[in-house]
């Protein structure tokens, strides 16, 4: 009887064997339902063989093999296997968590043919409903009837926009015969790409970049597209995608954050009006995600745009991979499987021998170093693509002589006033949401802290509450100091809400819009905000890093930057690199069209090398200086690191585990012939307590990636054998946060 080797979503790094009379080698890559203890689990068939190390009489039988969708292709299974081995994470957990949520459930994905969607129309009975008999307060019913009036059809997405309760109501109406529910099939459009707008004329630099990739299009190369903000990297992407489409190939575009999806997707749909395009990100519901995933797997979708999890999408005709804003830390997963989507994108391109393009105005130092050493091809876009658009003038405002009481200097206030008089937009950037980061009692020095995290509670004055931005805990605003009883407790510092309050007082007639995680929590809020900005219905924007990446605001003339000094002296060796990238990105929002751009940075350290490089738009000078420092210090990219992270309810449990792990590591290194491994002592994490868990870690590094992986394989095996009921630990390979 055939024996299935199944990958299951359990924290044990092995495959599990089951009997199945109906299985064959062609079932490799299909989902299967199997018994696991008292439970039933969904798994993926990794192999079909005739022998097992488990005695035949002890093998359990698989319950069902699901043949409702195509099996995972061998290329994707190889990627998942590499991911498991490189990041030292159980294979089954890697495999199952790469699937859409609906494919992780113990039931088939019901599809008649192709990809199904639903449309609703009123029947003759539905048109005769007496609307006056419906209570006025039942707004959902009234909205639905209005939307379905005449012969109007609504699809599932339009129904959800009306109300979350609308779908349930339509099911009831269908049962009553008021509404007719029809399924329709989404089919690929075989027409060539049509354009609604004329092609932009490429600059010389863009032409060189495009032609360089074209000449080696059908082979693996990693291209670092290093272009200043506004230099037209997106147009280069579009030309490369056109090339892939002309060769009947799919393109995978990875972006760092969901908020960049609507803008890029709109650009692609305008350019490629007859090309099936799908987006894959966490903002989709389970059905939408499955639909897009299946369209990609079946080759229907030709352009796939997604955040980091999209790197695991099955793509039978993959011909091009693009990673936009490749430097962004959002490409590194920070819980569970801690993979880098950017690095896996490069591996995936190498698998099928196709080009991969990494785009950024401020490349990660790892990628930049590879370009300097010739491992990546370096493409430069040094000038803005729009005619007469120049890089913004960047000036530092020295605030050492006295910090402004309102948080805004007279020079910055005057610049905002000038923009208002010329009907141009301004952006005030402060990477801290809320009203103030600290609630302080000046009498005894008490500050409001989170009980579950090693952090202060942030003041949200509009909601009259204190919130932890790490665990989500919130509590009411105290009327007096809980330690000494003094009622004179005050917010200290600034956040986006406090800056908004200040600007509202300074410019009462201005139209001010605050953009942070709090203001875009509603679904579709981000798209509406972008439309408001582009319609010039906003005079002053106040925002966090959400506004720093990839957005094009033609009427934005001024960017003011507050409180950026906090990152200059961080213990994180990547802090300077991140700050420069962030400030370069947000500065690049100004002056992207014919309006001249200006950037004002309020700082106590105007002579700092980072600000000097920023004023000169000289990424290369700063990058080479930082690389020289890292080489001396022995930091990446000159070494390779892994971090053993551990957390438990008791700090003693954590330290005992890490000291045991340290001894195991030392014994492994002592037994190795090549002792190119450096082991550091266990230390507390930068945030020692998070969500009620005590945290610490142990760092391992080596000058050789191969030596480090050999060591980690042995160490991981020994760590997995340790008792772990009271401790949660994980290996973080190539960590970017400590």
| Domain boundaries, given as residue ranges, for the chain | 3-104, 115-186, 204-381, 393-436+493-629, 640-733
pLDDT at position 154 over 90: no
Distances (CA, A) of 709 to 12, 88, 640, 703: 19, 9, 10, 11
Evaluate if residue 193 carries a pLDDT over 50. Answer: no
Mean pLDDT of 623-635: 95
Please tell me the class of the 115-186 domain. Answer: mainly alpha
In this prediction, residue 549 has a pLDDT band, given cuts at 50, 70 and 90, of low
What letter does residue 57 receive in the DSSP assignment?
Answer: G
What would the mean pLDDT of 116-134 be, rounded to a whole number?
A: 74
- Lowest-confidence region among 81-85, 98-102, 112-116: 112-116
Q: Which pLDDT value is given to residue 525?
A: 67
pLDDT at 532: 84
Distances (CA, A) of 358 to 214, 383, 729: 15, 18, 32
Q: Which residue, among 249, 260, 380, has the nearest Cα to 320 in the 3D structure?
A: 249
Give the pLDDT score at 280: 92
DSSP 153-195: -EEHHHHHHH-TTHHHHHHHHHHHTSEEEEEEEE----SPP--
CA 3 → CA 23, 106, 657, distances in Å? 8, 20, 38
Taking the mean position of all CA atoms in its chain, how far away is CA 628? 30
Structure tokens of 630? 């890292």
Share of the chain above pLDDT 70, in %: 93
Main-chain dihedrals φ then ψ at residue 358, nearest 5 degrees: -105, 115
Question: Residues 559-600: pLDDT tens digits?
Answer: 999 988 888 888 889 999 999 999 998 888 887 666 778 999
pLDDT at 195 over 50: no
What torsion do the CA atoms of 67, 70, 75, 79 make, to the nearest 10 degrees?
Answer: -70
- pLDDT of 94-105, one tens digit each? 999 999 999 999
Q: How confident is the model at residue 506 (pLDDT cuts 50, 70, 90)?
A: very high
Secondary element (H or E) of residue 733:
strand 728-733
DSSP state of 291: H
CB 523 within 8 A of CB 591: no
Instruction: Tell me which residue has tokens 């022995």.
Output: 634
Q: Angle of helix 496-506 relative to helix 410-421, nearest 10 degrees? A: 60
Q: Indicate the pLDDT class of residue 274, thresholds 50, 70 and 90.
A: confident
- Name which of 533, 587, 534 is nearest 229 in CA terms: 587
Name 9's Cβ contacts closer than 8 Å, sequence gap at least 6.
Answer: 41, 42, 43, 92, 93, 95, 96, 97, 104
Class of domain 640-733: alpha beta
Is residue 612 within a helix (H) or strand (E), and if so which, with residue range? helix 609-615
Residue 185 pLDDT exceeds 50: no
Distances in Å between the Cα of 47 and the Cα atoms of 2, 58, 471 are 10, 19, 41
What is the per-residue pLDDT for 419? 93
pLDDT, average across residues 331-351 = 96
**Residue 12 backbone dihedrals phi, psi, to 5 degrees:** -130, 125
Mean pLDDT, residues 619-645: 95
With contact defined as beta carbons under 8 Å apart, do 594 and 386 qualify? yes
Share of the chain above pLDDT 90, in %: 60
**393-436+493-629 fold:** Rossmann fold (3.40.50)
d(CA 350, CA 185): 35
What pLDDT score was predicted for residue 263? Answer: 78
Q: In the predicted model, what is the mean pLDDT of the chain?
A: 88
DSSP-derived secondary structure for 357-380: EEEESS--HHHHHHHHTTSSEEEE
Q: What is the pLDDT of residue 56?
A: 85
One of 3.30.1360.30, 3.40.1440.60, 3.20.20.480, 3.40.50.1970 is the CATH number of 3-104, namely 3.40.1440.60
In this prediction, residues 380-392 reach a mean pLDDT of 83
Length of the chain: 738
Handedness of CA 128, 132, 133, 135 (dihedral sign): positive
Contact criterion met (CB below 8 Å) for 179 and 170: yes
How far out from the chain centre does Cα 317 lie?
25
pLDDT of 191 strictly over 50: no
* CA 596 – CA 590 distance, rounded (Å): 8
Residue among 315, 311, 274 at smallest CA distance from 296: 315
As a whole number, mean pLDDT of residues 313-336 equals 95
Contacts 24+ apart (CB under 8 A), 448-451: 448/478
Question: Residue 460 pLDDT > 50, yes or no?
Answer: yes
pLDDT tens, residue by residue, 354-375: 999 999 999 999 999 999 999 9
Peptide linkage before 637 cis (omega within 30 of 0): yes
Name residues whose C-beta falls within 8 Å of residue 403's C-beta, 6 or more positions apart in sequence: none
Among the residue ranges 87-96, 182-191, 557-566, 651-660, the one predicted with the least confidence is 182-191
Residue 738 pLDDT: 86
> Fold match between 204-381 and 393-436+493-629?
yes
Q: Which CATH architecture has domain 204-381?
A: 3-Layer(aba) Sandwich (3.40)
Residue 118: the pLDDT is 63
pTM attached to this predicted model: 0.85
Whether residue 31 is predicted with pLDDT greater than 80 in this model: the reply is yes
pLDDT in tens, 675-724: 789 999 999 999 999 999 999 999 999 999 999 999 999 999 999 999 88
The angle that helices 525-534 and 261-271 make with each other, rounded to 10 degrees, is 70
Tell how many helices (H) and how many strands (E) occur in the chain: 20, 31
């Amino acid at each position: 009887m055939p024996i299935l080797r199944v990958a299951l979503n359990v924290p044990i790094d092995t495959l599990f064997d089951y009997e199945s009379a109906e299985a064959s080698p062609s079932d490799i890559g299909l989902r299967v339902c199997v018994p696991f203890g008292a439970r039933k689990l969904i798994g993926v068939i990794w192999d079909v063989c005739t022998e097992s190390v488990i005695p035949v009489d002890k093998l359990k039988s698989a319950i069902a093999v699901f043949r409702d969708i195509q099996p995972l292709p061998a290329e994707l299974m190889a990627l998942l296997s590499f991911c498991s081995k490189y990041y030292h994470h159980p294979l089954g957990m890697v495999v199952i968590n790469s699937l859409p949520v609906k494919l992780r459930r113990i039931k088939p994905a019901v599809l008649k043919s192709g990809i199904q969607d639903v449309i609703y129309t009123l029947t003759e009975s539905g048109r005769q409903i007496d609307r006056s008999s419906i209570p006025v307060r039942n707004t959902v019913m009234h909205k639905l009837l209005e939307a379905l009036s005449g012969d109007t059809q609504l699809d599932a997405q339009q129904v959800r926009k009306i109300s979350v309760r609308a779908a349930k109501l339509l099911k009831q109406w269908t049962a009553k015969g008021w509404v007719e529910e029809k399924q329709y099939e989404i089919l690929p459009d075989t027409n060539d790409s049509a354009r609604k707008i004329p092609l932009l004329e490429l600059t010389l630099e863009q032409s060189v970049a495009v032609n360089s990739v074209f000449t080696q299009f059908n082979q693996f190369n990693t291209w670092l597209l290093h272009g200043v903000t506004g230099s037209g990297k997106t147009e280069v992407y579009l030309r490369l995608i056109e090339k892939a489409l002309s060769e009947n190939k799919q393109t995978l575009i990875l972006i760092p954050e969901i908020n960049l999806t609507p803008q890029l997707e709109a650009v692609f749909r305008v350019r490629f009006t007859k090309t099936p395009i799908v987006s894959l990100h966490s903002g989709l519901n389970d059905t939408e995600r499955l639909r897009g995933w299946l369209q990609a797997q079946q080759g229907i979708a030709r352009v796939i745009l997604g955040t980091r999890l999209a790197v695991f999408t099955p793509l039978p005709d993959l011909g091009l991979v693009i990673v936009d804003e490749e430097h962004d830390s959002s490409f590194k997963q920070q819980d569970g499987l801690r993979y880098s989507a950017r690095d896996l994108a490069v591996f995936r391109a190498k698998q099928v021998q196709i080009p991969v393009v990494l785009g950024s105005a401020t490349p990660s130092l790892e990628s930049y170093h590879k370009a300097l050493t010739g491992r990546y091809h370096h493409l430069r876009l040094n000038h803005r693509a729009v005619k007469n658009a120049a890089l913004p003038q960047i000036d530092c405002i020295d605030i050492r002589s006295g910090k402004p009481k309102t948080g805004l200097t007279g020079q910055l206030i005057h610049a905002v006033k000038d923009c208002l008089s010329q009907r141009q937009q301004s952006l005030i950037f402060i990477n801290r949401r809320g009203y103030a980061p600290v609630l302080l009692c000046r009498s005894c020095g008490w500050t409001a802290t989170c009980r579950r995290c090693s952090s202060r509670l942030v003041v949200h004055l509009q909601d009259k509450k204190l919130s932890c931005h790490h665990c989500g805990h919130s509590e009411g605003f105290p009327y007096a100091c809980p330690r000494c009883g003094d009622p004179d407790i005050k917010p200290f510092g600034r956040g986006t809400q406090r800056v908004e309050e200040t600007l509202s007082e300074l410019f009462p007639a201005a139209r001010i819009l605050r953009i942070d995680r709090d203001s875009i929590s509603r679904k579709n809020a981000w798209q509406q905000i972008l439309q408001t900005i582009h319609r010039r219905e906003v005079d002053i924007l106040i925002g966090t890093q959400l506004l720093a990446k990839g957005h094009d605001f033609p009427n934005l003339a001024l960017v003011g930057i507050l409180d950026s000094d906090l990152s200059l002296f961080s213990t994180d060796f990547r802090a300077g690199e991140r700050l420069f990238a962030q400030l370069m990105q947000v500065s690049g929002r100004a002056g992207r069209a014919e309006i001249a751009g200006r950037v004002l940075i309020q700082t106590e350290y105007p002579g700092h090398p980072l600000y000097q490089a920023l004023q000169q738009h000289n990424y290369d000078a700063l990058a080479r200086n930082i690389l020289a420092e890292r080489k001396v210090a022995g930091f990446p990219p000159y070494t390779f690191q892994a971090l053993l992270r551990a957390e438990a309810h008791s700090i003693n449990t954590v330290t005992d585990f890490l000291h045991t792990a340290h001894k195991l590591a030392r014994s492994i290194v002592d037994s190795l012939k090549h002792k190119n491994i450096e082991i550091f002592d266990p230390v507390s994490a930068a945030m020692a307590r998070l969500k009620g868990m005590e945290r610490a870690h142990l760092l391992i590094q080596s000058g050789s990636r191969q030596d480090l992986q050999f060591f980690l394989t042995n160490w991981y095996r020994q760590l997995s054998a340790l008792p772990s009921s009271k401790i949660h630990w994980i290996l973080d390979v190539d960590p970017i946060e400590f």
